[in-house]
Chain A
Amino acid sequence: MHFLQPTSWDEALEARAELPGGLPVAGGTDVMVDLNFRRCHPAALIDLGRVPGLGEVSADGGWLRIGAAATYEHLMTALRHDFPALALAARTVGSPQIRHRGTIGGNLGTASPAGDAHPPLLAAGADVEVASQSGIRRIAIADFFTGPKRNAMAPDELISAVHVPRASGPQQFAKVGTRNAMVIAVCSLALALHPDRRRVGTGIGSAGPVPLAAAEAERFLEGVLGEDGLWERPRPLGEAVRGRFADLVASAARPVDDVRGSAAYRVHALRVLAGRVLDWTWADYLAAGPRHEAPAGRGVAG
């Protein structure tokens, strides 16, 4: 087994192309567990830790570019205003030791249905930027996950970044586990309001073969907020709206029974989480006060 340390992105792509059996590693928090337990035997490790700038977060107009090697520790603070759902999710990952090392690119590479970054990326409508020696392409997050621990990448590609619209409204993330730390989610849920484009985004984690969006719940809430003029003049949402939204989120899940929880519990817990994240998100939106009729693209403080 080889240990390769490319010192530029081009070298990393070259190594990836030449060694399709090589395993890219950044923070090591997933890869090393598999190696320590002899669960995988890659031909080589391709260490991305020496590629300059791979962990940078930058803003370009209304979009954020989050470098693949950005750590959860960094995201917790760097995304507090522009992508709060991911900042919140990052804080629930593992422990300080894990957050110091684990990266968003690693989470996407592993593509676990329980990955904590995935529900916020779905709720925000992110694109994953992947690269190979033949070029760069962007994969919509909804198309990125193809099965449990499988993604849409070709064997010669590396994840270079995630692109996501900057938050134009409040976002929340909630996760159920046996502790507040060091847990793989039993289930999780992200909710994002996008008042600039009058859209609602959701992401469900750990309750299906892949991370899922609750499309019907999104359309329902968009309908309620649109028909009643609540985007412009927010008022408290009734119990019926809350209950219907929660039911639609729960019905979008496709969970299985496993060691962390039963399918029935996950559906129940998602219904509870959906009510809560809607309460929190809408409370934030109400607190920001009424808005004038906003032209498309105008942001609203979250």
Chain B
Amino acid sequence: MKLRLTVNGEPREIGEVGADESLLTVLRDSLGLTGTKNACEQGECGSCSVYLDGGLVCSCLVPAGQAEGADVGTVEGLAGYRDLDPVQEAFAQAGAIQCGFCTPGLVMAVHDLLRRVPDPSDGQIREALAGNLCRCTGYQKIISAVRLAAGRVNGHHGY
């Protein structure tokens, strides 16, 4: 089947998509947007997190056909032409990156958290990031990055 959707603000059309394909394979294999990572394919790790019509989802669990006409936002869409998103900047500055594989999914999850809860408590941070695994176990610095990003988002423009 054919699929039309908006990705990071741009209308995209994919000529042939399988009925059992996921949104994740469309993003990575058809559109070349490999920032969204493929790991567990069962919604456990969060490394494929993207926005689907404004809500955070595991793209590996979204049948591609359900994204027909949808507005999808990936990690590639967060940064501007020159500047990183404040969440991405905070991850870099806090050293919240080791192997980097989980980073795009975590950045998306933190971006989503700070849109909903601009000044999250530690409990809220932990609950919001519970679906994103870091196999390097660098969670302390990730939580520091969330606090850093929250301060910046609140201090400047907000989401």
Contact = CB atoms under 8 A, between A and B. Distances in A.
Given A3-B19, A95-B131, A97-B46, A33 B1 contact: no
B130 A100 contact: no
Contact of A95 (B41, B60, B130): B130
B58 A97 contact: yes
B60 A94 contact: no
Given A36-B41, A182-B131, A100 B55 contact: yes
Interface in B46-77: 46, 49, 55-58, 60-63, 65-66, 68
A242 interface: no
A95 B46 contact: yes
A101 B132 CA distance: 16
B44 interface: yes
Nearest to B133: A182
Contacts of A31: 63
Contacts of B61: 27-29, 32-33, 98, 101
B131 A94 contact: yes
Given A44-B19, A97-B57, A5 B68 contact: yes
Give the secondary structure class of A's interface: mixed
Contacts of A148: none
B60 A36 contact: yes
B131 A101 contact: no
A49 B61 CA distance: 14
A8 interface: no
B22 to A, nearest CB: 6
B43 A33 contact: yes
State which size class the interface on A falls in.
20 to 34
Interface in A19-71: 25, 27-29, 31-33, 35-37, 44-45, 47, 49
A259 interface: no
B42 interface: yes
Nearest to B67: A49
Contacts of B49: 97
A96 interface: yes
Interface in A176-217: 179-182
State which size class the interface on B falls in.
20 to 34
B16 interface: no
Interface string B24-55: 00000000000000000111101001000001
B109 interface: yes
B18 A182 contact: no
A25, A29, A32, A37, most chain B CB atoms within 10 A:
A32
Contacts of A179: 130
Contacts of A101: 55, 57-58, 61-62
Given A2-B19, A181-B131, A96 B1 contact: no
A1 interface: yes
A32 B22 contact: yes
B127 interface: yes
A44 B1 CA distance: 13
A15 to B, nearest CB: 13
Contact of A181 (B41, B42, B58, B127): B127
Contact of A1 (B18, B46, B55): B18
B112 interface: yes
A96 B131 CA distance: 7
B97 interface: no
Contacts of A35: 20, 22, 63
A31 B127 CA distance: 25
Q: Give 8 closest A-B pairs by Cβ, nearest first.
A: A95-B131, A181-B130, A3-B19, A36-B41, A3-B65, A32-B61, A1-B19, A33-B42
Interface of A: 1-3, 5, 25, 27-29, 31-33, 35-37, 44-45, 47, 49, 94-98, 100-101, 179-182
Given A100-B56, A182-B131, 16 more contacts: A1-B19, A5-B68, A25-B63, A28-B66, A32-B62, A35-B22, A45-B20, A45-B63, A94-B131, A96-B127, A97-B43, A97-B57, A97-B131, A101-B57, A101-B58, A101-B62
